[in-house]
């Protein structure tokens, strides 16, 4: 190797390269910033595999649905090496060692993610920006640490887990996520992490600054979340920051008259046009804050109430933006299924920062006792209220009735005293304490975060690249919903690689797909990508994508199973030689 930082990238002519279709995503991966900040933020010592090759390999793995590093053990290393211009890809242990070097600095993956997200936000074309924030619970079934329990909605159970709070665009494309080993709740995360980051990342145009100065009700951008973030005080704080909120009404009052609702034809975030019955009123919240309340009436008569401090957007746009929140839920489901979002990247734990606040075990114990005693009291009250005499009770029946009533009343009074006493103790007990103040038996560690965030950022880039390709592909498909499924088929398709050093080109010839209609759509996509004139990193070769059969002349096709004549006598060997496609010897071999 000498003084070279890494092995030179050299492509050789190759046919039928397995999963070579992922090269089609290279222009999109580079456009999303896969390698843009790697020289500034990440370095590797000199070695055979350079940093660009490692980043490209991880990006291709995500798109090829290789969900973990361990799964790479069962992939052909030589075939994957051809896609990177190398003789082979690194072994799993080598790749793990490279990741370990890249993730030594705790917090660097978050900074890389934040820089990319700031760039992605700047590309948003809409003048009125909407950001969606929601938590995703990653359940942990291991035994390395006893994580706090979180409610997992998809399991309908409280399980040991960690929570990631994601910020997405209206179409579900991710910007950034914040990991919380101890979940403080959506409102606290918005206040402490999400809103400060958005304030430092969302640009203000001159037009926006002028509008904010002239109109006291104008807003900078809109943050969208579910009922968990409902808080009139939080709404008022955001209004002072000129940030609009959009969420569901957690405590709607009685239904509105059906006569107030009018039908509106609206276009959803996915492009579909539907009809909604909408109505709007002004609503004053508990803290005297006036907001807009919009309700949607379903065919079954149910009314969904929406609250917002966005006073400029039309009612239809706000309704579409609120119900587009399901794009984020669909993103979580798609990432879990296809990108292995919940998978562990490495085994191990690390200490929880001392400043993190957790629920005081003593407070939790008292609170549990209060809940238990209160439940007992409700059951006794139900028994007390259910006692009744017959129409003509006897003296013994009446005596037993009085005795039962007295016993139940005595038990209820005793529980009331216990509950009051426990509530006083709970009031005097600190609710939250720092992790360092926990008793030794209650302390826990957290799952390692740096390598996980690094790999998840590459998965974000892969998802965004896939989304951009899908948007191009939908224009040429009769069924637009098939775009992602077709891309998965393309990524797993075989290709031929034909480098031309004289012309400085690398032709990627994709094999035909199962349907002619899909071939036509793929040809259009190739033409669009060729216009980008993407150069393969580390070379001067411009990528050219096309679709067709093998470019080797028919009379020079390679038959790898030609048998020497001497095999018949037991001393022959198998060898490769060019033969004609319809040669009898080729068919016999």
Burial of 1 (0-12, 13-18, 19+ CB in 10 A): exposed
pLDDT at residue 562 is higher than 50: no
Burial of 430 (0-12, 13-18, 19+ CB in 10 A): exposed
Q: Which of 1-5, 11-15, 119-123, 213-217 has the lowest mean pLDDT?
A: 1-5
- Mean pLDDT, the chain, integer: 89
CA–CA–CA angle 55, 60, 66 (5° rounding) = 115
CA–CA–CA angle 460, 58, 474 (5° rounding) = 50
How far is residue 315's CA from residue 262's CA, in Å, rounded to a whole number? 11
pLDDT at residue 554 is higher than 90: no
Q: What is the pLDDT of residue 268?
A: 86
- pLDDT tens track for 37-81: 988 899 999 889 999 999 999 999 999 999 999 999 999 999 999
User: Quick one: average pLDDT of 457-464?
Assistant: 97
Residue 564 pLDDT level (bands cut at 50, 70, 90): very low
Phi, psi of 544 (to 5 degrees): -125, 120
Are 201 and 118 in contact by the 8 Å Cβ rule? The answer is yes
Provide the β-strand partners of residue 563: 574
Q: What is the pLDDT of residue 497?
A: 96
pLDDT at residue 200 is higher than 90: yes
Q: Are strands 542-547 and 505-510 parallel, antiparallel or unpaired?
A: parallel
DSSP state of 531: T
User: Quick one: average pLDDT of 418-427?
Assistant: 94
How far is residue 59's CA from residue 67's CA, in Å, rounded to a whole number? 11
Structure-model confidence comparison of residues 441 and 260, the more confident one: 260
Q: What is the pLDDT of residue 3?
A: 64
- pLDDT tens track for 328-370: 999 999 999 999 999 988 888 888 888 888 888 899 899 999 9
User: Sign of the CA dihedral 239, 240, 243, 247?
Assistant: negative
How far is residue 402's CA from residue 385's CA, in Å, rounded to a whole number? 13
How far is residue 530's CA from residue 27's CA, in Å, rounded to a whole number? 9
pLDDT at residue 228 is higher than 80: yes
pLDDT at residue 238 is higher than 50: yes
pTM for this entry: 0.86
How far is residue 468's CA from residue 530's CA, in Å, rounded to a whole number? 15
Q: Which of 50-64, 225-239, 383-397 has the lowest mean pLDDT?
A: 383-397
Q: What is the pLDDT of residue 586?
A: 33
Q: Which of 18-32, 68-82, 568-582 has the lowest mean pLDDT?
A: 568-582
One DSSP character per residue, 67-105 reads -STGGGGGS-HHHHHHHHTSS-PPPHHHHHHHHHHHT-S
pLDDT above 70 covers a percentage of the chain that reads: 92
């Amino acid at each position: 190797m000498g003084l070279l930082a890494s092995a030179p990238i050299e492509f050789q002519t190759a046919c039928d390269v397995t999963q070579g279709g992922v090269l089609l995503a290279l222009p999109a991966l580079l456009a999303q910033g896969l390698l843009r900040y790697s020289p500034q933020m990440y370095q590797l010592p000199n070695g055979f595999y350079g940093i660009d090759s490692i980043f490209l390999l991880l990006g291709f793995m995500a798109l090829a649905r290789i969900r973990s590093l361990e799964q790479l053990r069962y992939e052909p290393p030589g075939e994957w090496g051809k896609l990177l211009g190398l003789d082979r890809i690194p072994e799993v242990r080598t790749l793990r060692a490279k990741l370990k070097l890249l993730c030594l600095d705790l917090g660097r993956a978050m900074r890389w993610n934040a820089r990319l997200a700031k760039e992605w936000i700047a590309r948003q074309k809409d003048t009125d920006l909407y950001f969606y924030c929601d938590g995703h619970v990653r359940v942990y079934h291991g035994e390395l640490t006893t994580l706090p329990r979180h409610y997992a909605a998809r399991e309908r159970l409280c399980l040991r887990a960690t929570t990631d709070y994601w910020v997405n665009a209206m179409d579900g494309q991710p910007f950034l996520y914040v990991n919380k080993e101890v979940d403080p709740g959506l409102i606290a995360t918005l206040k402490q992490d999400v809103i400060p980051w958005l304030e430092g990342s969302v640009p203000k145009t001159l037009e926006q600054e002028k509008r904010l100065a002239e109109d006291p009700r104008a807003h900078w951008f809109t943050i969208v979340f579910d009922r968990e973030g409902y808080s009139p005080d939080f709404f008022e704080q955001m209004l002072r920051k000129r940030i609009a909120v959009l969420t569901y009404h957690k405590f709607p009052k009685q239904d509105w008259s059906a006569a107030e609702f009018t039908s509106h034809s609206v276009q959803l975030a996915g492009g579909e046009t539907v009809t909604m019955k909408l109505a709007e009123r002004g609503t004053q919240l508990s803290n005297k804050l006036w907001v807009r309340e919009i309700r949607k009436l379903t065919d079954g008569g149910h009314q969904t109430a929406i609250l917002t401090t966005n006073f400029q957007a039309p009612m239809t746009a706000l309704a579409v933006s609120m119900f587009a929140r399901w794009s984020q839920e669909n993103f979580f489901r798609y990432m879990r299924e296809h990108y292995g979002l919940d998978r562990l990247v490495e085994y191990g734990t690390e200490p929880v920062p001392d400043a993190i606040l957790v629920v005081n075990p003593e407070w939790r114990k008292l609170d549990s006792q209060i809940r238990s005693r209160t439940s007992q009291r409700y059951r006794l009250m139900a028994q007390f209220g259910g006692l009744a005499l017959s129409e003509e009770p006897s003296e013994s029946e009446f005596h037993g009735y009085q005795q039962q009533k007295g016993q139940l009343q005595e038990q209820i009074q005793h529980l009331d005293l216990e509950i009051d006493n426990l509530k006083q103790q709970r009031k005097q007990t600190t609710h939250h304490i720092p992790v360092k103040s926990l008793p030794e038996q209650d302390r826990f560690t957290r799952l390692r975060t740096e390598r996980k965030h690094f790999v998840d950022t590459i998965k974000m880039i892969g998802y965004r690249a896939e989304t951009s390709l899908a948007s191009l592909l939908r224009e040429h498909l009769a069924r637009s919903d098939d775009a992602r499924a077709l891309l998965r088929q393309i990524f797993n398709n075989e290709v031929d690689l034909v480098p031309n050093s004289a012309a400085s080109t690398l032709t990627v010839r994709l094999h035909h797909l199962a349907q002619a209609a899909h071939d036509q759509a793929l040809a259009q996509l190739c033409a669009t990508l060729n216009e980008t004139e993407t150069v393969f990193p580390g070379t001067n070769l411009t990528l050219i994508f096309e679709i067709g059969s093998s470019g080797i002349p028919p009379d020079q096709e390679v038959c790898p199973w030609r048998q020497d004549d001497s095999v018949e006598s037991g001393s022959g060997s198998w060898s490769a030689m060019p033969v004609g496609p319809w040669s009898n010897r080729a068919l016999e071999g």
